[in-house]
Structure 1
Amino acid sequence: MLRVRLALVVAISLCFVFVLGLTLYWGSHKIALYSSRSQAAYEAFDRYQQLYREAYRYFKQRMDLLLVDQQGTVADVEMSRQRLHDAIERLRKAAATGLDSANDIEAWQNRQSELDSIARLSASLEAGMHRFDEVDRLRHEGRREAALLLLSEVLEEDIDRTFDPLIDSAISRERERALVARERLMGLVGLSRWISVSTALISVVFSLAAGAMLFRSIRRPIEALMRGTDEIAAGNLLYRIAIDSRDEFGYLAKHFNQMAQELEIQRRKLGEAHAALEHKVAERTLELNRLNGELQRLDHARRQFFADISHELRTPITVIRGEAEVTLRGRNKEAEEYKESLQRILDLSLQLGKLVNDLLFLARAETAHLQFEWEMLDFVELVVNAAEDIRVLAQDKSIEVTLNVADTPVWVRGDKQRLRQVVFILGDNAVRYSDAGSRIRIDLEADGAEAVLRVNDRGIGIPAHDLELIFDRYYRSTNARRSSDDGTGLGLPVAKAIVTAHGGRISAHSSEGHGTTFAVTLPQLTLNESDTDVGADVDVCQDYARESAA
């Protein structure tokens, strides 16, 4: 069968690829290994050369100091001694690192041998330095002939007979290692090239032979399938492909013929589906018309909303104008009558200004144009001061206001006037919708990384179906409208906008007839954030402070 032949060809091709890949991997690994050894040998060679230069610089400076008696070169000698120690230490560290990373016996033995050589070199240099120090001591004692004799022994024994053979042996060893690694590397490159070329040639020959065999076996069935596809593409769904073999092409021709038969059936069903689609389009059109009517209804609600705003603004303006006209038409009125008229005009102006300021604040909150005077403030102090204002409001109804705050400061970052406005809005609502003689409780506590303010009253409460809507603009619960008709429905939306801008949240829990609890949660500052200079912005709402009661 065709799939067996294809599988066999693919399997053999994969074998070639696997052998080639394995060869290349092995070769690249070995090349990297020998290249690393060659590089390490050359680097060690350079380090030994550096050690050789530093040693002879040190020997020369010591001899100059002893023979010429140049006192100015003492510092140079000490510096040269330090460089010599540094060169030996670099050799030792490099050899120790190579010993830790050696992954075969040969590399480990080479690194061990190098460590031994470095140890002998170090011992030789230390002995030579010691004997140079002895020569210097004899010279300072005035025993010049003994010093020169010992210096001659140092040059002959420690340098010529001990140090020179050791350093020459080490340099020769590293040079030999570099040459061996290079020869192995070049041999391995040649072997890898020969294996790769051989494998590639065999793969090419096999691919050409297998391709020619497969092409001869699939050409006629493919031509028959192509003729069938041309006929069906031209719309002749009655055409059938005649291939009687039992291989994949026979299987494909059989199913191709079945597909043509199914296409004929589907073409008939398509006409039926087209009619059904037209019916569904008609239904969707009706649905779109219904949605369009809904949009028109919403547009009507929007226009009604603006009409309500116009009414809210027009009523106080009309009353102000009426008061002014009546006052102007009167003759010989008492000053007290003028004062009463002006007081009513002032009250209505304040009400109108409060409504406009609330609308302006909420509009800016929605467009992210709010600006605040940010500072680090004690929330406890702010709540205590605001509670005094709430007590003044509660006096007329003999309502008791109790305060329970933390004993220590609770630091938050915010706008002092705006946060005080939030507390005042909640307190004013509590006073307005509480019965005379009841009690209002204000609690402030630090809960972990947050400051939580709760204002609890025992007033009329909020119906459950209104709780999710009380923070919407102009919305007032049903019992609130029955209890008081002077609210605008903007206080709680303003409070929510301020709290949200401070990174906090506000929520309400209530039971109708049993009171309401509002909770305000703000992020609390830690002690390491006590930088009070947190920056200030120009507050665009400077004339709008503590006026937005619900």
Structure 2
Amino acid sequence: MFRFRLAIVIVVSFCFVLSLGIALYWGANEVARYFQHSQTAYETFDDYEQLSQEAYRHFKQRMDRLITANPNSETGVESSKRRLYEAMQTLRDTAVKTPGKDSASEDWTNKPAELEKVAHLTAFLEASEYRFEEVERLRLQGKLTTAVQVLAKFTEEEIDGKFQPLIDAAINAEREKAKKAKRELEILVEKSRWTAILASLTAALFSLVAGILLLRAFKTPIEALMKGTDEIASGNLDYRISLDSRDEFAYLASHFNQMAKELEVQQDKLREGRAVLEERVTERTFELNLLNEELKRMDNARREFLADISHELRTPITVIRGEAEVTLRGQDRDAEEYKDALQRIVELSMQLGKYVNDLLFLARADTANLQFEWNKVDLADLVGSSVEDFQVMAQEYSISVSLDAPTGPLLVRGDKQRLRQVLFILGENACRYSKPLGHIAVALWRDGKQACFSLTDQGIGIPSEDLERIFERHFRSSNAQHSRDDGSGLGLPMAKSILQAHGGQIAVRSVENAGSTFTVTLPLLTVA
């Protein structure tokens, strides 16, 4: 539809331009033709003037020759005659090329009349030559008076009566032709000017009207398309262009809507893909976080493992070194005493080997997963041998150790090495945090179906606000941190874990700067 309108405008505009070109071409041809007519008329007019002058000059030369009878005038006569015939030939040539039947005016179509005029003039001039020759014969015969009379009669009747009116009529006719050609040329130029003006105005008016109509036809679809592109560019892919026409703009709007629909589908797919990707990234991130937490936990377990190893290995090594030093410093000891010392060193070495091999215990905090060797254990014997070890460690700190225990056995079900580990933890803490020249009191007694063990020191004590947290892993009371910086806060939590696995408990009473008392209870083994 729009292409049809545009084609009509182009065709009509082309017709206007073609018509204006044809009109201008026709006008130019007419102007050239009338100009040619005018030029021909003026040329003919000039030729008649020239012929008239040459004719009268020749007549005068002939008359002078007849009247004066001067032989020298023969040359002038021949010269004027030659010029006269040349002027006549020029006029004859002009008459021959005068416009004929292609002229628009009747005056230009009478070419035979022009040729007839030229023929009359030619005939007159030839007849005049005959008369002049007749006058010349009369003069030569001595009949001068008759010759003069004939010449006067010829001049009056022929030259003035016939030739002069014929020349004047021809000149006047050519002058009128030139004037008429000029008038017609001016009229044609004026017509061409108005034709060009009217054609230009018509073309301009048509172009203006056609431009306004096309602009109105353009405006609505162009604005709709521009709005659609702005909406799509802003991300509104749901927008659709609505045009009621059936032209090219409607076709373009349809394709534009199809493009927007496909873009919307692609965007939905991208959004879904992005959502899936984000979900996968979230899952992978969660997995990585879990792995990271696991790595952190493993790293913390590794740190705790190393701390536990350093803590647990330190006590038996200290005792072994102490036993060896005490034994080496002793004087006059018998073999039995050396044997007892070596036996304790062997037991402590076995204890140390058990610590080294039992990595699971140091790697896990859950006591349910610990490995124990359950046997009957005489707690009285275990406490007694452990106190002897305490005494070795206490000597380094100038601390005395005492034991109050029953003479009979106190049997419990448990792991001897684990229970020794608990005693070592309590003894080492008492030695490390007791004041020099202090005293550690160890007591063991039966309380119904339970065996009770207590260790009282005269050390720095524990602040009341820290009593509930001393069994937490890596926790150390504030005064312990100020007193010693080599603690790890692992001993008491480990001791509590071992006792809980044996069905026992551990409690503490403490006064800051006065000392602490740790009490351990274990169920006695029922003897069948």
TM-score range, shorter chain: 0.3 to 0.5
Q: Rg larger in 1 or in 2? A: 2
Q: TM-score, normalised by structure 2?
A: 0.45
